[in-house]
Amino acid sequence: MKATEFLSRSQVTRDVQSFLRGKSKDAVGRRLSHFLSTHPEILYVEWKNGNRQDTHGSVKPDLNRAAKPYLLKARSAAKKGVSYSSPTFSYNGKSYFVMSQRKPLPSADQSIIAIVSTEVIQAVERHQRRNMRLVPYPSEGRYRIESAIPGTGEETTVRSGEDNGNASHYSIDEIVVKFRAPLEEKQLLQLRKDLDLTVVRHTGKTYVFRSKKHQTEGLKQYFLNKWDPEFVEPHYLYLTNVRENDMDMDTSIIPNDTLYSEYQWNLPEIATETGWKVTKGSEDVIVAVLDTGVQADHPDLIGRLVEGTNIVDPSSPPDDDVGHGTHVAGIIAASVNNNEGVAGMTWLTKIMPVKVLDSSGAGSTYSVAEGIIWATNHGAQIINMSLGNYAEAEFLHDALKYAHERGVVLVAASGNDNTDRPGFPAAYAEVLAVSATDSDETRAEYSNYGDYIDVAAPGTSIPSTYPGSRYAALSGTSMASPHVAALASLVRAANPGLTNEEVMELLRRTAKDLGTSGQDAEYGFGQIDVRSALQSASGSNTSLQLYPQQVRRQLERLKVK
């Protein structure tokens, strides 16, 4: 809720500033009227430019009285030429805030004062209470890098490609140590106990350690004081010195979407920014979102949708009357680098909205099965299912087999009950089952787990698109699953020749191992790693990770023949 409030305030502030900067031949009254029609959360505005003023919208007298002390402060701020944003206040069970913004030019005397509804916060609360099963329902990265000034170790901040010229980069939770002799097993066990370490790499006497509790500087001092190593140093990154196609000297691609840098921890965490150096996706790849529908005219989703269907009510379009489906779609495909809202994981991938859940957020297994078959027959290469329960259904399984046999990559959320009970459709063999992680790479406390989990992905406080052309932060394995579906779409863009089984295996094999070494019940094979997966898919030397599986399949085919 707090993150959603931040998102709401940031986006409204940006849009009001954009309005004040705008140039149009239309009369101010007409512009204000259009502005309110496209921003339903803004209930009332006062516009002033010198001696000219206008008001648009209306609020009930009681709400106006509740807002009055904040309106007075906003007007005072506008006169002084400064911005103002009130605390959130409540009226009749709903929440609001008052804001004022002045045109950001010293010579201008133009300002807007507004009463803004933050009803989206209550909507998110209702959604999360259901999604996290806090109320009965239905009702009957790790890619953490620090920058330092070369030769000194003093921290610095890299804000642009130019800054990279005077910075080195290292993983903040890793250390490289060369000992006087290779470590014995009991010494390794002691290190794991003392520092919660895992061995990332090991060559001879040199080890790369990663710690969940300690960062580089603390690890460095420990080894210098306790072990007398030949050397100890940060785990630096070396960058390729190549310039071709879309490659430049930056280590990553940082989008300009207004909410990205401050709120979207999830994409850097799984190395998406560096993965985009390999591919940004393809317009030929379609991900079907089987959910509550999608807001087709959301400004961050315009142009990203293909024809979908409404299984619940075939006479209506697959519009979203809950919010869940629009949020899932934005994680995959919100427009990137458009100076608007959030960034999706893919720049070009298309979304096929398939509404299989009704206005309560529930739907039958039969509806889901019908949606799977429809999406498969209409060209979806990946199907995301941020839904599920604990009952097996033969028809649903038949539909999954139908899609799988036709080359579709199937991805599903494991569930939000913190249980190892297998949830379906995630637990079916044809489906990639996804658990959720927090920003510290631990399994989210709500996430289901079990031996059927394939991979994990970020799922906590994920910002994305929301109905009403707004943005919200939601948590759940429902948010983790579309990260995996989006990565599958990027892999298929990088290497269209891979089968669905090979895509699934690649995502498992390139995942960052977390928790117990190897596959485990909490993370499966680990948290997805966009850079590693796309490097493998595109044919770089890391594709050796996939080679044994390809050879094995070829041998099995020959054996069958």
Among the listed residues 291, 320, 520, 529, the single catalytic one is 291
Q: Are 487 and 272 in contact (CB under 8 A)?
A: no
Q: Are 515 and 522 in contact (CB under 8 A)?
A: yes
3-state DSSP assignment of residue 398: helix
Distances, alpha carbon 341 to alpha carbons 15, 119, 212, in Å: 10, 18, 32
257 catalytic residue (yes or no): no
CA dihedral sign of residues 400, 404, 406, 408? positive
Say which residue the tokens 């060209």 belong to.
379
Q: Are 436 and 152 in contact (CB under 8 A)?
A: no
37 catalytic residue (yes or no): no
Q: What's the burial of 15, exposed, middle or buried (CB within 10 Å: 0-12/13-18/19+)?
A: buried
CB within 8 A of 261, min separation 6: which ones?
254
483 catalytic residue (yes or no): no
Q: Distance (Å, rounded) from C-alpha 457 to C-alpha 7? A: 22
DSSP string of 274-340, one letter each residue? HHTTT----TT-EEEEEES---TT-TTTTT-B---EESS-TTS----SSSHHHHHHHHHH--SSSSS
Among the listed residues 169, 324, 397, 404, the single catalytic one is 324
Say which residue the tokens 């206005």 belong to.
359
Q: Distance (Å, rounded) from C-alpha 357 to C-alpha 386? A: 11
Counting every residue, how long is the chain? 561
Among the listed residues 95, 435, 478, 536, the single catalytic one is 478
Strand partners, 210: 174, 198
Strand partners, 91: 94
CA dihedral sign of residues 207, 211, 216, 217? negative
Q: Are 143 and 271 in contact (CB under 8 A)?
A: yes
CB within 8 A of 481, min separation 6: which ones?
328, 384, 385, 386, 411, 412, 413, 434, 457
DSSP annotation of 116 reads E
Say which residue the tokens 């030949």 belong to.
230
DSSP string of 157-195, one letter each residue? ---STGGGGG-EEEEEEEEEEE-SSPPPHHHHHHHHHHH
Q: Distance (Å, rounded) from C-alpha 23 to C-alpha 25? A: 7
Q: Distance (Å, rounded) from C-alpha 275 to C-alpha 430? A: 26
My answer on whether omega of the bond before 425 falls inside 30° of 0, hence cis, is yes
Residues labelled as active-site residues: 291, 324, 478
